[in-house]
Structure 1
Amino acid sequence: MTPGSNIPLSVARVTVDVTAPVRLDVSGLLLTADGKVRSDDDFVFYNQPNGPGVTHRAASGATPDAITVDTAAVPAAIEKIVVTASPDAAGTTFAGIEPTATVRADDGSVIATFTPPPLGTETALLIVEVYRRNGAWKVRAVGQGYANGLAGIATDFGVSVEEPAAPTAPVAPVTAPMPPAPVAVAPVGAPPVPAAPAAPPAVPGKINLDKGRVSLRKNETVSLVKGGKPLTRSVKMGLGWEPAWNGRAIDLDASVIAYGPDRNMIDACYFGRLQILGGTIQHSGDNLTGDGSGDDETITVHMGGLPPEVTGLVFTVSSFNGQKFTEVAKAYCRLLDAQTGEELVRFDLTGSEPKTGVLMCKFIRQYSGEWEMTAMGDYVKAKTVRDLVKPAAQAL
């Protein structure tokens, strides 16, 4: 499975095994429609292994930690059971030790497996969720990380922080000699302090819009959140370019491809299809030369109106006539507030390759509902939107 993808469950009872190269604390949270537990009794973990329809199995020998969900016994008020994990050793992050969730039927047969993409400073993780939709049960891959450990998850879902924190406290002294895991390399060289600044680049550019315009570099990410609230108003993605070295007119085409949770293309908006998804995405029309200052083409996205099945947007530029990006100068994309015209995020493409397409940036809908924008700048062989569908999907 990939992040955000889901599959229906054909059996009433499933077990989610969670494995990793290190010992884990695995738990299950029973959530109502508002995304909260009803009480601390809906938090199932090794010190409280039984909940209504949900049980915890502690690791033993070759048997991993697991959460079992008997959907027939889950209370009607519960809409989803989220399976979480955190490293048992205090202070350890998931960098390089990404866990794998294996969903099994009672007979041991594998229904699905999911390993999240590479992680960094996360110390707790929502791995998968078993959820109810229109009377049927499904399982969804999540992969949402928290840098503030189990306490961060508890706070988000309404569990008293003291309850989940207490079980881990006795473990910390046992593993206290092992803090070398996060600090090991630094203490070897006497100056551990210089090592601290090296940590932030592990999650480059993970910022929001609170401090004004954000300038991104390749592979950096900004959370489209302002004042603690996800961006739901209309935005414009402006894309611009100029002919290089006073060369001939350059005819490039900007487009955006919308994807679902399985990286399946839902629709594409470009010069030949100026409006998609009920008008929630609109294209300004074709620019045939690239001459002049300002945006050459714009794509408006009504963020609050995007259908829930859309979980990814990839903005691209391609050359239908085969002109390569070595003939293009000053290519960029910038995100604007559609109402005020305020520039929110900008990414200037640096370097070039003799190819006919480029993946400029992508929007990914997070498990919590907000969107994140990541600068890409990846060159591909593509002249049309159809050529871009596969490489864009692979980049999600």
Structure 2
Amino acid sequence: MNLTAGGNCPVPTGELTIRVRTSVEADISAYRLGTNGKVSGDSDMIFYGQRACSDGAVRLISDGVNTVYSVNLSKISPAVDKIAFACTCNPGQTVSSLGQIGIQVEQFNSSLVSCNVDMSGRTEAALILGELYRRNHEWKFRFVSQGFNGGLKPLAEHFGVEVDDDQGQTPPVSTPPPKPISLSKISLTKNNPTISLTKRSDYGLIKINLNWNQRTNNNGMFGGIFGSGGGAIDLDLGCFVRLKNGDQHVIQAIGERFGDLDYQPYVKLLADDRTGSSTDGEWMHINGRRWSEIDEILVFAFIYDGVPNWSETDGVVTIHVPNEPPVETRLTEGGRSKGMCGIARLINKDGVICAERINRYFSGHRDLDGAFGWGFRWVAGSK
């Protein structure tokens, strides 16, 4: 079903996918709202810095030009009256710079509702795109397409979110409760390829997430606007680890080399998602209490199954360090011939975590190894 601005239609109760596609990268945020149109707390805002609400009913699966939210309506609290989805662009830009914008409601890989935003004459810095809302004990979706003056911060405050005024700065380690939500994010790009984090003796539990989109052949509105991909791609996360004592390790699903957090190499791969449809993607944890014993970690991803086409994966790797803004880099520059991407290096420089963007593409493990001089001996393996 195609809706025009202001239109609404019923949606089934259960797990839905909300997909927002833009011509260029944009930030899409979601808000759980009460009958007063406000959040009940900062945990009701779901965005790149807080990818799930407190009960997990609303989750941000992927972002960029193809943002995907998972919403389980059967788990939504009775106190929540609606869930709004909004789009914001970079400071100094207006939404017209985003090109085409569409929002789609899906279930079981099938399009239920498609909405195409009319971009003519848009001068706002944000858009409230649409909302899921309750009516007579049933759920409906309304295509809002309402402009909003101001970026992410004023939009969040409009919905009642308390926002840290110190944007773009590293949040302080100790802040009196309740701690305002931080909208800070660090993106490693060609022009900004490195970041050094605050020096600490104990970095706590460091989490690295790989997320991407399962490609299906939907025939909805987005097929004509943005094109559609082929079948599902199996994208795997892994890393090389070098310790201060000279020991080296490979962490990956192939060969079931999942590692260990409490013992060498102090890195553990948690899951292997064969489809990219998992809510959480793939996670790798690093024991930051043992950071002093780690010399370097080279994070990589490879396409285990499917045609290599990195621009179609919408892949993003996000590094979460406690009390630091999330650090992300995107895997969109590779062509169709090389199945492995060297993503980033975490280097121990006098105890400080230095994150360096790589985003170089290789034919396989051996070529990646040779480019950075690790010296492993490689044989064929399988999962």
Q: Check whether TM > 0.5.
A: no
Task: Say which structure is richer in helix.
Answer: 1
Give the TM-score normalised by structure 2. Answer: 0.42
